[in-house]
Structure 1
């Protein structure tokens, strides 16, 4: 089944500093987290950014500065979130691509997100996909529900393969309103990949208490992993996460136990079809 591509999602847009004091919210804090996680075995960093008050933002200047800082300090693949916060307008989410990341997320449908709605209209998805094709940015297709895979099949059939030619998806599991973080849900999603281009790969993300079941199921099913404080702020019952490195270290230990050690960034670039060497 090969080595394991490990993505770290260090910040997100939902968790606040008050709830997770270790959350990296400044550029310097993100760089420190990136370096620590790369040293342990991460190869991709999925980035959300915060403003000077630690609130979610899609400020283009700060996105560019963050991208450049991570590239200067590490060899990680820089993947920017085009999801932002659920309240961000479409034009700001599209503008994320102007920061020039290696990768960007592309969520494949609308989903209830706790008490909110994460809106992803079909026209917006098409616009995001085709702009990434034009710019040579490799997408990670984010799948919050089984029907999103059918939407991805429709997208690829009508608008062609992504930049780099390789299709990679991330199953985001355990969001209140999306698919559950269970083995059964992951198996159903993997089965649906048969309708996508040959060689399609997947990562899986378990939110909150679904982190470990999803992590172990993904490894057993030949998938890859995404971990980080965007998705998990409790390491164990009544034990707050100390750092993103702590979560990456746990993922690495499980990957090695499964005899699928972490994939170096250079190998991850080849797998994902990212032209930039480092």
Structure 2
């Protein structure tokens, strides 16, 4: 079996140092984390930036600075920016972020963009015009249905096919399981460029299962701070190394 593609999501929009001291917040911390994760076996980075107070940001300048530093430190690592609103930003701010950064790759929550149907087509048009690869964030089969509808109506442009299936959610005691992938695969059996992330201590079990079906993987502190025994990973690189080890054992 081909070596699976792994993206690390080291921080997300919501977690902070109080939840894990090794969670990277500053650009310098994110860049150092990316280098460690690349050495541990990560192929790509899902990038969130924070403002001076450590709050989730869509500031184009901060993104450009982070992308520049990452290109210097880990030139072989693919980087995807997030446009996640996280309850803080409207669709206009998400569009401004995309056009202000013009990234090579971005994740876009289709349910967030659906908040403003005047701007939704402009989001996807901007990505097509500037060459930004899109990965649609899908939280449930309702999001899958919305994506299909938008494809049929031409809101989503040809070639904007990447998706990530999110197993579970931010919640106390969340334990995603490999079975949580099944509704997504049944609703979208024709997906060819798909990735999975999962919450809770069974994160890596979910990802290994997805690999057996041909999926790409996203792991890291955005989704889970702990391993299957409930003990915290030392850092994101330790999580990636543990996942690589589990994959090698499970796929051999």
**TM-score tier (shorter):** 0.7 to 0.9
CA separation of 1:166/1:128 partners in 2, compared to 1, >3 Å: closer, same or farther? closer
Q: Does residue 133 of structure 1 match 2:128?
A: yes
Would you say the 8 A contact 1:48–1:80 is kept in 2?
A: yes
User: For residue 169 of structure 2, what is the aligned residue in structure 1?
Assistant: 175
Matched residue, 1:185: 180
1:56 aligns with 2:56: yes
| Match status 1:216 vs 2:191 | no
Gaps of 5+ in 2: none
How far is 1:237 from its partner?
4.5
Q: How far apart are residue 245 of structure 1 and its match?
A: 0.4
RMSD: 2.5
Pairing partner for 1:228 from 202, 217, 220: 220
Provide the TM-score with structure 1 as the length reference: 0.80
1:27-46 counterparts in 2 under 5 A? 27-46=27-46
Q: TM-score, normalised by structure 2?
A: 0.87
The corresponding residue for 1:101 is 103
Change (3 A) 1:33 1:162: farther
- SS at the partner of 2:136? strand
Distance 1:171 1:65, change over 3 A: same
8 Å CA contact retained: 1:173, 1:180: no
Q: CA deviation at 1:171?
A: 0.7
Q: Which has the higher contact order (CA 8 A, sep 6+)?
A: 1
Is 1:31–1:70's contact at 8 Å kept on the other side of the alignment? yes
Does the alignment pair 1:77 with 2:69? Answer: no
Deviations 1:79-100 (A, max 9, x none): 1100142222222222221213
| Post-superposition offset of 1:18 | 1.3
How many residues are aligned here? 247
**Cα separation, 1, equivalents of 2:115 and 2:156:** 20
1:265 paired residue number: none
Check the 8 A contact 1:153/1:195 in 2, yes or no.
no
4+ residue runs over 4 A deviation: 160-163
| Mapped partners of 1:229, 1:96: distance in 2 | 24
